[in-house]
Amino acid sequence: MNNASEVFDRRRFVKLTTAAGAAALLHGHLGAAYAAAQKKSAGLTFPDLPYEVDALAPYLSARTVGIHYKEHHKGYYDLVAGWVKKDAGYQGKSLEELIGTTRGGILRDESVFHMAVLLYNHNLYWPSMKPDGGGEPSTKLDVRGAVEKSFGSYKAFRKKFVEEAMKLGSGWVFLVNGPDGLAVFRTDYHDTPLHHYFTPLLALDVWEHAYYLDYQNNRRKYVDTFFDKLVNWQFAESRLKQTRRK
């Protein structure tokens, strides 16, 4: 089922999971990380899946990935693209700009915002995983040091991320880079760290459609499998370096 229609009437709220993150939000900090996150993307496009549809099996089946990518993700893209096509005010904007433009809007703007956020988050979700992924980030990667600096250890980071994932009804959990280092950021339903001044480095979809066919209601197993078998630390590394270049 495409969940595009059911999300409109659900309230959304955000939990920042570090004191640094909360401080950044409270003070409306427009730091380098936010500026980097606002950079223009290649435009409103539906990205290719970065691997074959069955490449994450047996950890995520071809059926799960196929439905999620071709129906859910494509559904969000089609909705947003359709609205953009009909409204000159939205045309020529990157996805990031569209999210910024429609944030806080009412009626149609709110709908565009919610779907644009889901499109943006899903664009990050697929490359956050890879075949033969999983495990701790290599000590050769800058993101390893950044994780240890902000959380104390990889183990502490993972524990925090899993705890946040288990608190949600439906939503998203991210590893983000912000003005005071890395943090875990979770959103209920449809929101993104982007407009809260954080750059997402990894995204995990914890809506049931992401895992139910393979794990039923065992979300903990899905989240653990993400870290053990799927997580793509090279993607997080590339996102971290993009942020730092700004």
For Fe ion, the closer of residues 44 and 118 by Cβ is 118
Q: How many residues bind Fe ion (CB under 5 A)?
A: 3
Among residues 96, 188, 191, 205, which is the contact residue for Fe ion, using CB under 5 A?
A: 205
Nearest to 72 by CA among 91, 49, 92: 49
Stretch that binds Fe ion, among 81-89, 139-147, 188-196, 201-209 (CB under 5 A): 201-209
Choose between 72 and 130: whose C-beta lies nearer to Fe ion: 72
- Site string (54-93) toward Fe ion, x via CB under 5 A: ------------------x---------------------
Nearer to Fe ion, 76 or 157 (CB): 76
| Residue whose beta carbon is closest to Fe ion | 205
**Residue 213 has which token pair?**
């066919």
Residue 95 Cβ vs Fe ion, minimum distance, rounded to whole Å: 16
| Closest distance to Fe ion from the beta carbon of 69 (Å) | 9
Question: Could you tell me the smallest distance in angstroms from the CB atom of residue 13 to Fe ion?
Answer: 19
Q: Does 164 bind Fe ion (CB under 5 A)?
A: no
In the complex, least distance from residue 158 CB atom to Fe ion, rounded to whole angstroms = 22
Whole-number minimum distance, CB 210 to Fe ion, in Å? 5
Min separation Cβ 130 and Fe ion, Å: 18
3-state secondary structure the chain: CCCCCCCCCCCCCEEECCHHHHHHHHCCCCCHHHHHHCCCCCCCCCCCCCCCCCCCCCCCCHHHHHHHHHHHHHHHHHHHHHHHHHCCCCCCCCHHHHHHHHCCCCCHHHHHHHHHHHHHHHHHHHHHECCCCCCCCCCCCHHHHHHHHHHCCHHHHHHHHHHHHHHCCCEEEEEEEECCEEEEEEEECCCCHHHHCCEEEEEEECCHHHCHHHHCCCHHHHHHHHHHHHECHHHHHHHHHHHHCC
Residue 75 or 178: the one with the smaller Cβ distance to Fe ion is 75
Residues of this chain that bind Fe ion (CB under 5 A): 72, 205, 207
